[in-house]
Amino acid sequence: MHQPGLPRNNLSISQPRGLTRLGLSAKLLLVTVLFVMAAEVLIYLPSIANFRRNWLHDRIAAAQVAALVLEGAPEDGLPEGSENRLLMGVGARAIAARVGGARRLLSLDSMPPPEVSRSVDLRDLHWVNAIKEAVAVLIAPATMPIRVVGEAVGGADFVEIVIDEAPLRRAMLKFSWSLLLISLLITGLTALAVYIALNALIIGPIRHLAANVMEFEAEPENPQRIITPSLRADEIGEAERALARMEATLAEELRTKKHLAELGLAVSKINHDLRNMLAAAQLMSDQLIETRDAKIRRFAPRLIATLGRAIEFCQATLAYGRAAEATPVIRDVGLRQLVAEQAEMLGLPGDGRLRFENNVPAELVAPCDPDQMARVLTNLMRNSVQALTQAGAEEGDRPLLTVAGGNVNGSVALRVIDNGPGVPERARANLFQAFRGSVTPGGTGLGLAVAAELVRLHGGTIELEPATSGAVFKVTLPLRRSNGH
């Protein structure tokens, strides 16, 4: 239960509102319709302008027929009634044509032609002006007749007509409605086709990815929840493969973390009792110093020191079992003597079947924590001893473990070399990771992980060097001087 005054850990996520509640498919369909309608509007403007131009051209063409009649008419004019029939056929109030420099006029009225509100010259009409004039007809139609001038055929120079704009506007509105219905049909079909295609190619796979992520979130440790990538070679396929790799890695890490947590809980329970037992063993081993046996007296201090290290290690174990390595206490340490001590603790050279060579120069000194570096050497040398004992040497040679050292480019390098079977290829990728880098049957994989952590605390590196036979582990420490810490 949340206590007053303490911050809450859960995040409050507001619920989506409005259009954000729509699914990805609905948003895609809506955007497709909007874009198609916008494209139709862009198409409509030049279409309606072109329709107006063609309608006026048709009237000019009809007026040209009348102009030909005027051109062939006698001087005293056309028979009575013929002029009115010509004008009604054209749909104009007046028709004028310039023939041979003389202007001939047909008019429904005996009076001069009426005044016009605007003039349209089809001989030189720019498309921008055509669009503006077409929109003007629809929005603000003229209340008075308009004058239209066009090219003529035959002997006439040009033809002009005076017509009412109302029939033109009615025709344009009818065309607009027809175009709107066609546009809606095209928009619907286009949006549906785009929706179906994108839903199959993109939305469906994205939904599959989202569903897998939610299923994996519910059971991240279940390997059955890891997505199975398709064979697609596009970005969706790459995302599926990347998600599969990420989920596999995360599942493995979670299983490892869970195993570590369980191990830490077990270690925390036995830590107290183990420390008490080691302390009791240390007290009893103190009495070995008083013995008269020279061999026992020689090994007793090292045994006591080893028990002391074990007690300190138990005391450094955290409540959940994770060993928190302390900051190294750096001082100058003779590496040859340190290697010799670890060899004695491991019983080298033992019964003589396994040879051991300490090729570290006597004068080689490295700034390090002697206890932590002793643990590093013990882990590496024990692994080599186990490999040589269980598998033997390659090509029938006598098993040999060698520790060499020297100064290299301002650093100290130690090499633990054996002529055993070497490190299996499958173990090299996770060689220095806990519980994943075991190279011996029954091993926990902790030795190399602990050695790598201790070396990193010293600012050094540890690596497996390429070798034609056996295994060569190289530890590099920086040559920094002791600063009293």
User: Are the CB atoms for 168 and 118 separated by under 8 Å?
Assistant: no
Q: Which candidate, 128, 131, 121, 134, places its Cα nearest to that of 173?
A: 134
15-53 pLDDT, tens digit per residue, is 445 445 666 667 777 887 788 778 777 888 888 899 988
User: Are the CB atoms for 158 and 151 separated by under 8 Å?
Assistant: yes
Going 360 to 366 to 371 to 372, the CA torsion angle's sign is negative
Q: What is the pTM of this model?
A: 0.42
Q: At residue 205, what is the residue type?
A: P
**What band does 324 get if pLDDT is binned at 50, 70 and 90?**
low
158-195 pLDDT, tens digit per residue, is 778 888 888 888 899 999 898 888 888 887 787 788 77
Looking at residue 174, what is its pLDDT? 92
Give whichever of 134-143, 386-395, 424-433 has the largest mean pLDDT. Answer: 134-143
Q: Strands 118-121 and 146-151: what pairing?
A: parallel
CA pair distance 399, 387, nearest whole angstrom:
10
Beta strands in 23-172 (DSSP E): 94-99, 102-107, 118-121, 146-151, 156-163
- Could you count the other beta carbons within 10 Å of the beta carbon of residue 356? 20
The predicted model gives 407-429 an average pLDDT of 87
Q: Which candidate, 453, 452, 454, places its Cα nearest to that of 463?
A: 452
DSSP assignment letter at 74:
-
Give Cα 419 to chain centroid, integer Å.
46
Percent share of the chain, pLDDT over 90: 15
Burial 446-472 (b: 16+ CB within 10 A, else e): bbbbbbbbbbeebebebebeeeeebbb
Fold of 328-478: Heat Shock Protein 90 (3.30.565)
Q: Strands 471-478 and 461-465: what pairing?
A: antiparallel
**What band does 235 get if pLDDT is binned at 50, 70 and 90?**
confident
Q: At residue 90, what is the residue type?
A: V
Residue with tokens 């916008």: 38
CA pair distance 385, 363, nearest whole angstrom:
26
CA pair distance 172, 28, nearest whole angstrom:
34
CA pair distance 224, 245, nearest whole angstrom:
14
Q: Which of 46-50, 112-116, 220-224, 372-376 has the lowest mean pLDDT?
A: 112-116
Angle of helix 235-286 relative to helix 204-218, nearest 10 degrees, comes to 20
Beta strands in 233-363 (DSSP E): 331-334, 355-359
- Could you count the other beta carbons within 10 Å of the beta carbon of residue 52? 24
Say which residues have a Cβ less than 8 Å from residue 443's Cβ, sequence separation at least 6: 386
Q: Which candidate, 451, 415, 457, 447, places its Cα nearest to that of 330?
A: 457
Helix (H, G, I), strand (E, B) or coil at 217: helix
| Residue 297: C-alpha distances to residues 1, 4, 281, 303, 339 (Å) | 62, 64, 16, 10, 21
**What band does 12 get if pLDDT is binned at 50, 70 and 90?**
very low
Q: Where are the domains of the chain?
A: 22-186, 219-324, 328-478
